[in-house]
């Protein structure tokens, strides 16, 4: 799996630097988007996975589910920081300010707050079983806010963010080379996320087994 | 809600009131904290005129942080006094949740009714729509009480208390916070926000209550 990911990453990077044409109005700054969109996507995906395994844990309290939920949130925090930083740089280059509480900046920032709160809660809870249960409940509770924020925030804050690739009319408005590079970059980042998650979960699991062995 | 849950809820509510009367520090601290933040804002502004939008934002910052001081104690005080286990044995999850939620809501409402007139006197004398202001405050604080009771239950047994509650609350309460500010700005004579936010606020309050009710069982009954 690692070899495939390395090849795919190199291919995406090659395409971004040598094949993708400069975008209208953005020039070569558009290259940032091929990093920014995939990490933002991975950050959201990690949140969904974390909430999903939280729900599974509450149904059936297996250690493995908690490890998935916790490690996915940990990875999500890294991705969301990368997405926020790359977004801020892109925004400085194109709009002239690092931060202006654009709807999407607000949403990604809320996600950052949720990850921070979730990991803080875990760190503050000494008892292992209670930690797993409590963080699963919090992941699900914060999940409730998502549809509301998606609905409310764009109405309260004015947006300059480029519209999504697939806009309201369902029409894809992008150069084909760009589109395929973006799809490949998304697949690559999803692969990187899955690979890291599996590794982390495995590592946490083996650590626990040896702990139990020493006890 | 069936009859036995309602009867249990009333018992828990009565217990909370009795405890509140005996141990005044919890709600007294909240009122004093609200007053302190309000005076802080008012003194810092030195009588400068505020736009409705800014006044609304400041009002909700005061209300949010003041509620953070009171609402986090609903379970912590029981844990400190050692009565949590007795409550677990005798109280079902739903009566305990709703009894405590109702108590928190009433305390928050009292705090809101205490701070609102002072705020208006000091910072925003012109109210265009008093009814909207009251409704927004009542619905906003209901959301804080609903989410706050569940989040307070989450922090039972944590090694760190200071700050954790507010950190956990902010993301969950943002869908209440943002429309409430917009509605309050309208009530204070600013650009009128859409009234549909009021419906959205009520809907989100309901969702928080239902969500808290569903999730609380997992926290209350531990094997």
Domain ranges within chain A, ordered by starting residue: 32-161+174-209
The residue length of chain A stands at: 215
DSSP for B99-162 reads HHHHHHHHHHHHHHHHHHHHHHHHH----S-HHHHHHHHHHHHHHHHHHHHHHHHHTTT-S--T
* Residue B138 predicted with pLDDT over 50: yes
Model confidence pTM above 0.95: no
> Residue A31 carries which DSSP code?
G
d(CA B165, CA B148): 8
How much is the CA Rg of chain B, to the nearest whole Å? Answer: 18
CB contact under 8 A, B170 and A113: yes
CA distance A180 to chain B (A): 35
Contacts of A152 in chain B (CB under 8 A): 175, 178-179, 200
d(CA A75, CA A199): 11
* Residue B155 predicted with pLDDT over 60: yes
Q: What is the pLDDT of residues B175-196, one digit of tens each?
A: 899 889 999 999 998 776 677 8
Of A35, A28, A26, nearest to A86 (Cα)? Answer: A35
Best residue in A125, A140, A143 for a mutation probing chain B (most B CBs within 10 Å) = A125
CB contact under 8 A, A133 and B218: yes
CB contact under 8 A, B158 and A125: yes
Burial state string for A158-189 with b = 16 or more CB within 10 A and e = fewer than 16: eeeeeeeeeeeeeeeeeeeebeebbebbbebb
Which of A133-137, B17-21, B70-74 has maximum average pLDDT? Answer: A133-137
Q: What is the pLDDT of residues A171-212, one digit of tens each?
A: 556 778 888 888 999 999 999 999 999 999 999 888 765 555
Q: How much is the average pLDDT of B53-59?
A: 92
Return all residues near A67 (Cβ < 8 A) that are at least 6 apart.
A201, A204, A205
Of A47, A107, A99, nearest to A74 (Cα)? Answer: A47
Classified as helix, coil or strand, B92 is coil
Taking a C-beta distance cutoff of 8 angstroms, is the pair A108, A117 a contact?
A: no
The residue that leads in pLDDT, B146 or A168, is B146
ipTM of predicted complex: 0.89
> Residue B2 carries which DSSP code?
-
CA distance B19 to chain A (A): 27
Other residues' Cβ atoms within 10 Å of the Cβ of residue A120: 17
**B171: burial class by Cβ within 10 Å (0-12, 13-18, 19+)?**
buried
Q: What is the pLDDT of residues A68-95, one digit of tens each?
A: 999 999 999 999 999 999 989 988 888 8
């Amino acid at each position: 799996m690692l070899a495939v990911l390395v090849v795919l990453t190199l291919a995406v990077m090659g395409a971004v630097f040598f094949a993708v044409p400069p975008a209208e109005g953005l020039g070569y700054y558009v290259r940032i988007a091929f990093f920014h969109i995939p990490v933002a996507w991975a950050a959201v995906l990690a949140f969904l996975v974390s909430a999903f395994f939280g729900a599974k844990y509450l149904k059936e309290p297996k250690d493995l589910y908690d490890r998935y939920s916790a490690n996915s949130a940990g990875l999500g925090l890294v991705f969301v920081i990368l997405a926020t930083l790359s977004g801020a740089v892109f925004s400085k280059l194109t709009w002239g300010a690092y931060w202006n509480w654009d709807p999407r900046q607000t949403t990604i920032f809320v996600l950052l707050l949720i990850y921070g709160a979730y990991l803080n809660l875990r760190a503050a809870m000494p008892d292992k079983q209670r930690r797993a249960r409590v963080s699963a409940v919090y992941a699900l509770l914060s999940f409730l806010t998502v549809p509301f924020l998606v609905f409310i925030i764009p109405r309260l804050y004015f947006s300059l963010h480029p519209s999504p690739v697939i806009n309201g009319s369902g029409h894809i408005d992008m150069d084909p080379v760009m589109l395929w590079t973006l799809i490949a970059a998304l697949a690559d980042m999803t692969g990187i996320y899955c690979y890291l998650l599996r590794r982390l979960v495995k590592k946490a699991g083996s650590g626990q087994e040896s702990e139990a062995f020493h006890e | 809600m069936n009859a036995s849950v309602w009867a249990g809820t009333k018992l828990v509510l009565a217990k909370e009131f009795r405890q509140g009367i005996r141990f005044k520090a919890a709600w007294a601290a909240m009122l004093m904290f609200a007053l302190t933040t309000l005076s802080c804002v008012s003194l810092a502004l030195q009588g400068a005129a505020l736009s409705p939008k800014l006044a609304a934002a400041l009002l909700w910052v005061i209300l949010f942080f003041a509620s953070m001081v009171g609402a986090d104690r609903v379970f912590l005080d029981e844990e400190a006094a050692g009565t949590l286990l007795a409550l677990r044995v005798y109280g079902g999850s739903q009566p305990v949740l709703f009894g405590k939620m109702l108590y928190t809501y009433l305390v928050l409402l009292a705090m809101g009714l205490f701070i609102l007139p002072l705020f208006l006197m000091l910072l925003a004398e012109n109210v265009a729509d008093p009814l909207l202001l009251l409704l927004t405050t009542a619905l906003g604080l209901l959301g804080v009480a609903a989410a706050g009771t569940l989040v307070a239950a989450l922090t039972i047994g944590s090694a760190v208390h200071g700050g954790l509650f507010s950190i956990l609350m902010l993301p969950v309460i943002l869908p209440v916070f943002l429309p409430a500010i917009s509605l309050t700005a309208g009530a204070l004579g600013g650009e009128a926000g859409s009234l549909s936010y009021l419906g959205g606020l009520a809907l989100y309050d309901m969702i928080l209550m239902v969500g808290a009710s569903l999730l609380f069982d997992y926290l209350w009954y531990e094997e």
